[in-house]
Amino acid sequence: MLRKGGDTVPAGSSSKRERQYEHIKESAEDRGESTRRAEEIAARTVNKERARCGGRRRLRPPLWASERCRSSD
Protein backbone atom coordinates (compact mmCIF):
# COMPACT_ATOMS: atom_id res chain seq x y z
CA MET A 1 0.00 0.00 0.00
CA LEU A 2 2.76 2.47 0.83
CA ARG A 3 4.83 3.87 -1.98
CA LYS A 4 8.18 5.58 -1.84
CA GLY A 5 7.59 8.94 -0.21
CA GLY A 6 4.50 7.83 1.70
CA ASP A 7 1.94 9.32 -0.70
CA THR A 8 -0.91 7.21 0.63
CA VAL A 9 -3.13 7.27 3.66
CA PRO A 10 -1.18 5.93 6.68
CA ALA A 11 -1.89 2.34 7.68
CA GLY A 12 -4.56 2.12 10.33
CA SER A 13 -6.32 5.26 9.17
CA SER A 14 -10.02 5.58 9.77
CA SER A 15 -12.51 5.17 6.96
CA LYS A 16 -13.23 8.90 7.29
CA ARG A 17 -9.60 9.72 6.48
CA GLU A 18 -9.61 7.25 3.58
CA ARG A 19 -12.75 8.86 2.12
CA GLN A 20 -11.22 12.30 2.59
CA TYR A 21 -8.05 11.14 0.80
CA GLU A 22 -9.98 9.75 -2.17
CA HIS A 23 -12.14 12.87 -2.46
CA ILE A 24 -9.16 15.23 -2.43
CA LYS A 25 -7.28 13.03 -4.91
CA GLU A 26 -10.20 12.96 -7.34
CA SER A 27 -10.67 16.73 -7.03
CA ALA A 28 -7.01 17.35 -7.81
CA GLU A 29 -7.18 15.05 -10.84
CA ASP A 30 -10.29 16.90 -12.05
CA ARG A 31 -8.29 20.14 -11.86
CA GLY A 32 -5.71 18.61 -14.20
CA GLU A 33 -3.05 17.42 -11.75
CA SER A 34 -1.21 14.20 -12.58
CA THR A 35 -2.19 11.09 -10.62
CA ARG A 36 1.07 11.15 -8.69
CA ARG A 37 0.73 14.84 -7.81
CA ALA A 38 -2.94 14.35 -6.87
CA GLU A 39 -1.93 11.53 -4.49
CA GLU A 40 0.72 13.76 -2.94
CA ILE A 41 -1.72 16.63 -2.44
CA ALA A 42 -4.30 14.30 -0.88
CA ALA A 43 -1.79 12.62 1.44
CA ARG A 44 -0.35 15.92 2.63
CA THR A 45 -3.81 17.38 3.24
CA VAL A 46 -5.06 14.34 5.17
CA ASN A 47 -1.87 14.23 7.24
CA LYS A 48 -2.16 17.97 7.96
CA GLU A 49 -5.74 17.53 9.18
CA ARG A 50 -4.75 14.51 11.27
CA ALA A 51 -1.91 16.43 12.90
CA ARG A 52 -4.09 19.49 13.48
CA CYS A 53 -6.72 17.41 15.25
CA GLY A 54 -4.32 15.43 17.41
CA GLY A 55 -4.00 12.44 15.09
CA ARG A 56 -5.77 10.04 17.37
CA ARG A 57 -8.58 9.90 19.82
CA ARG A 58 -7.73 11.21 23.24
CA LEU A 59 -9.57 11.06 26.48
CA ARG A 60 -9.69 14.82 26.50
CA PRO A 61 -9.10 16.92 23.38
CA PRO A 62 -6.44 19.63 23.59
CA LEU A 63 -7.67 23.08 24.51
CA TRP A 64 -6.77 24.48 21.09
CA ALA A 65 -8.79 21.88 19.18
CA SER A 66 -11.69 23.28 17.23
CA GLU A 67 -15.20 21.86 17.28
CA ARG A 68 -14.45 20.21 13.94
CA CYS A 69 -11.60 18.26 15.48
CA ARG A 70 -13.64 17.19 18.48
CA SER A 71 -16.14 15.23 16.41
CA SER A 72 -15.65 11.49 16.34
CA ASP A 73 -13.60 9.97 13.52
pLDDT digits (tens, 9 = 90+) for 22-52: 999 999 999 999 999 999 999 999 989 888 8
Greatest C-alpha distance within the chain:
42
Is 5 a member of any domain? no
**pLDDT in the model for residue 1:** 43
**9 lies in some domain:** no
Q: 41 lies in which domain range?
A: 15-56
Q: Looking at the 3D structure of the chain, how many domains does it have?
A: 1
pLDDT band at 2 (very low <50, low <70, confident <90, very high): very low
User: pLDDT by residue (tens digit) across 53-64?
Assistant: 776 655 566 565
Which of 36, 48, 50, 30 minimizes the C-alpha distance to 7? 36
Distance CA 33, CA 21 (A): 15
Whole-structure pTM value: 0.60
